[in-house]
Amino acid sequence: MSDYTVRTLRPDEHRAAVDLFRSTLHVAATTDETWKIVERAQQPGRTLGAFDTELIGTARSFDAEITLPGGARAGAAGVTGVGVRPDRTRRGVLTELMRAQLTDIASRGLPFAVLRASEGVIYNRFGYGVTTRSRGYEIDRRRAVLRPDVPAGGQVELWPLDTALERLPGLYAALPHTRPGMMTRPPYWWPGWERHAREATSPVLTAVHHGEDGPDGYVVYRVERKHWNDPAVLEVISLHTGTDEAFNGLWRYLLGVDLVDTLRAGERPVDEPVELLFTDIRAVTDTGGGDELWLRLVDVPAALAARAYEGEPVVLDVVDPVLDANSRRYHVSPDGARRTEAAADLRLGVDALAMIYLGAWRPSQLAAAGRIQPANPAALERADRLFATPVPAWCGTHF
């Protein structure tokens, strides 16, 4: 039996939880000014606290939706603010918090939970798997000459921070979510963005591209120069476009910003074709990539049924270490997904299922690494085809 309890926190306890979380990331407690912003990010009833004599651990979530292969959107709890006090770690506190949180998310009827992980070793055991991967790149402005055939793009308008705070939520919501893994940004998401923007050490600007039918893309960026004579770096904080015209137009704009030596973008889609814009394809260098979004199928039958598939059926035997009701066999095909008693083709953990669910990895790759056990090896090729996505998944929303 554990010597601590886990319960849902009252709103007047939220600040203590946020400060505890910040302390686990080695960040100072909120000031009154910061708390005024961050308080708006707390969805009531969604912060859990673990207590012994006092608060020792916390985890919270907020309601969002993610885009699935085929274009449908489904409910996903955005899990964040996870931390355990350093003098109480490695005695199962997070395990209890995760168990309570997943049970709560399941009882709310949300088929998915998503998170961004501080470390790669924490979340597999709770059934999360890496579901999108991203790429970072850097552009040498002197070498980045646009090819003459790059379409011109439309008008670009600059929004200062206060205008962006007012109008970006509507613009982001109106842009098409073209990739699996893209997330809605509910009102509980934007205060976190505001805090980062207000605390940045140089002005955060938003450039909005106007196409024929109005705004169709935007980039949020800032320029950092440590000392007057140092090279300046333009950091792309967020870039979302609904048309090729907006993508081209916004890069044309960014490359025209004066007193910039390098442009840097992180956590971009793995196949973003930015180098195709330049006469020198080597104007762009990769700065590394990695895991982006982690996914947890909370309601496996609903989650499997919610996405589109192509190809031939397979039978999956799913093992869920936390939510036992998911540990069943499922027949998955372009006609949908349903429970079955038929013999399984592939046996896999619910974390491995998350890794193939949005196409980040092929089932055959996970089988080669021992993370999927094929009872019928011939089914791997079918599973590869069934779970493939036409474009690589990408989230593009940090939380």
Ligand X SMILES: CC(C)(COP(=O)(O)OP(=O)(O)OC[C@H]1O[C@@H](n2cnc3c(N)ncnc32)[C@H](O)[C@@H]1OP(=O)(O)O)[C@@H](O)C(=O)NCCC(=O)NCCS
Distance (Å, rounded) from C-alpha 19 to C-alpha 15? 6
Q: Known catalytic residue: 253?
A: no
Closest CA to 37 of 138, 161, 151: 161
Say which of 21, 112, 123, 172 is annotated catalytic: 123
Distance (Å, rounded) from C-alpha 218 to C-alpha 133? 22
Q: Known catalytic residue: 112?
A: no
Tell me: is residue 194 an annotated ligand-binding position: no
Task: Give min distance, CB of 346 to ligand X, in A.
Answer: 26
In the bound state with ligand X, the residue whose beta carbon lies nearer, of 23 and 333, is 23
Closest CA to 363 of 391, 332, 394: 332
List contacts with ligand X (CB under 6 A).
24-25, 82-84, 89-95, 117-119, 121-122, 125
Closest CA to 344 of 359, 331, 334, 363: 331
Distance (Å, rounded) from C-alpha 3 to C-alpha 72? 43
Rounded to the nearest 5 degrees, what angle is found at the Cα of 253, between the Cα atoms of 243 and 171?
45
Tell me: is residue 118 an annotated ligand-binding position: yes
In the bound state with ligand X, the residue whose beta carbon lies nearer, of 90 and 282, is 90
Tell me: is residue 311 an annotated ligand-binding position: no
Q: Read off the DSSP letter of residue 278.
A: B
Per DSSP, the three-state class of 24 is helix
In the bound state with ligand X, the residue whose beta carbon lies nearer, of 131 and 241, is 131
Tell me: is residue 119 an annotated ligand-binding position: yes
In the bound state with ligand X, the residue whose beta carbon lies nearer, of 30 and 340, is 30
Q: Count of residues for the chain? A: 399
Task: Give min distance, CB of 398 to ligand X, in A.
Answer: 12
Distance (Å, rounded) from C-alpha 203 to C-alpha 257? 14
Tell me: is residue 82 an annotated ligand-binding position: yes
Task: Give min distance, CB of 337 to ligand X, in A.
Answer: 30
Task: Give min distance, CB of 50 to ligand X, in A.
Answer: 8
Distance (Å, rounded) from C-alpha 73 to C-alpha 332? 19
Q: Which amino acid is at 116?
A: R
Annotated binding-site residue numbers for acetyl-CoA: 82-84, 90-95, 118-119
Active site residues per annotation: 123, 399
